[in-house]
Amino acid sequence: MAIQRTLSIIKPDAIAKNVIGDIIRRFEENGLSIIAMKMTHLSAAEAGRFYAVHAERPFYKDLCTFMSSGPILAMCLEGKNAIALNRQLMGATNPKEAEEGTIRADHADSIDANAVHGSDSEENAAIEINFFFSDLDIHSRS
Ligand code: ADP
Ligand code: MG
- Rounded distance between C-alpha atoms, residue 124 and residue 61, angstroms: 21
Residue 119 contacts residue 128 (beta carbons within 8 Å) = yes
Please provide residue 116's backbone torsions phi and psi, each rounded to the nearest 5 degrees.
-145, 155
Q: How high is the pLDDT of residue 76?
A: 99
Q: Is 114 in the pocket of ligand 1 (CB under 6 A)?
A: yes
Q: What percent of the chain has pLDDT over 90?
A: 99
Torsion-angle region of 48 (φ positive above 0: left; ψ -120 to 50: alpha; else: beta): alpha
Dump pLDDT digits (tens) for 49-74. Answer: 999 999 999 999 999 999 999 999 99
For residue 109, what pLDDT band results from cuts at 50, 70 and 90? Answer: very high
What's the rounded mean pLDDT across residues 34-41?
Answer: 98
- Rounded distance between C-alpha atoms, residue 76 and residue 124, angstroms: 13
Instruction: Answer whether residue 29 shows pLDDT above 90.
Output: yes
Find the 141 Cα to ligand 1 centroid distance in Å: 31
What's the rounded mean pLDDT across residues 89-110?
Answer: 98
Find the 111 Cα to ligand 1 centroid distance in Å: 6
- Rounded distance between C-alpha atoms, residue 17 and residue 23, angstroms: 11
Task: Single out the catalytic residue among 41, 54, 107, 117.
Answer: 117
Residue 77 contacts residue 36 (beta carbons within 8 Å) = no
Kindly report the average pLDDT of the chain as a whole number.
Answer: 98
Q: Is 107 in the pocket of ligand 1 (CB under 6 A)?
A: no
What's the rounded mean pLDDT across residues 32-40?
Answer: 98
- Rounded distance between C-alpha atoms, residue 54 and residue 61, angstroms: 10
Q: Which helix (H) or strand (E) holds 85?
A: helix 82-90
What's the rounded mean pLDDT across residues 103-110?
Answer: 98
Instruction: Answer whether residue 1 shows pLDDT above 80.
Output: no
For residue 91, what pLDDT band results from cuts at 50, 70 and 90? Answer: very high
Q: Is 98 in the pocket of ligand 1 (CB under 6 A)?
A: no
Indicate the pTM of the whole model: 0.98
